[in-house]
Amino acid sequence: MQPELVPAFFEAAARDVYNVFCPRTQRVGSFIISFQKCGRTWLELMLAHAFAHVYGMDASLISRQLPKMRARVGRGPVIFSTHDWSETTGETRDAISPYLMLAYPLRMRYWGRRVLMLIRDPRDTIVSSYYQVTRRAFRPLSFDTIDSYVLDPLYGFPRLIHFYKIWAFNRHFVLPFKLVRYEELLRDGYATLQSICDYVELPGLAPQTIKVIYDACRFDQIRAMEDAGLADLYKFSGAGASKARRGKIGGYRDELQPETIDHLNRWMLELPAPFTYPV
Q: What would the pLDDT profile of 126-146 be if each residue is shown by its tens digit? A: 999 999 999 888 889 999 999
Q: How far is CA 275 from CA 170, 269, 272, in A?
A: 13, 11, 6
33 near 116, Cβ under 8 Å?
Answer: yes
pLDDT in tens, 2-57: 888 999 999 999 999 999 999 999 999 999 999 999 999 999 999 999 999 999 99
Burial group, residue 178, by CB count within 10 angstroms (0-12, 13-18, 19+) = middle
Is residue 231 left, alpha or beta, with left meaning phi > 0 and alpha meaning psi from -120 to 50? left
Q: Where are the alpha helices (DSSP H) in 136-188?
A: 146-150, 157-170, 182-187
pLDDT digits (tens, 9 = 90+) for 158-198: 999 999 999 999 999 999 999 999 999 999 999 999 999 99
Cβ–Cβ under 8 Å, residues 199 and 217: no
Q: Which domains does the chain have, with CATH numbers?
A: 5-268 (3.40.50.300)
Round the average pLDDT of the chain to a whole number and report it.
91
> For residue 117, what is the enclosing H or E element?
strand 115-119
- Which percentage of the chain shows pLDDT scores above 70? 92
Strands 115-119, 79-82: pairing is unpaired
The structure's pTM equals 0.92
* Cβ-defined contacts of 240-247 (< 8 Å, 24+): 240/131, 240/135, 241/131, 241/135, 241/136, 243/41, 243/136, 244/41, 244/42, 244/219, 245/128, 245/131, 246/128, 247/39, 247/42, 247/186, 247/219
Instruction: For 93, list phi and psi in degrees, rounded to 5.
Output: -160, 170
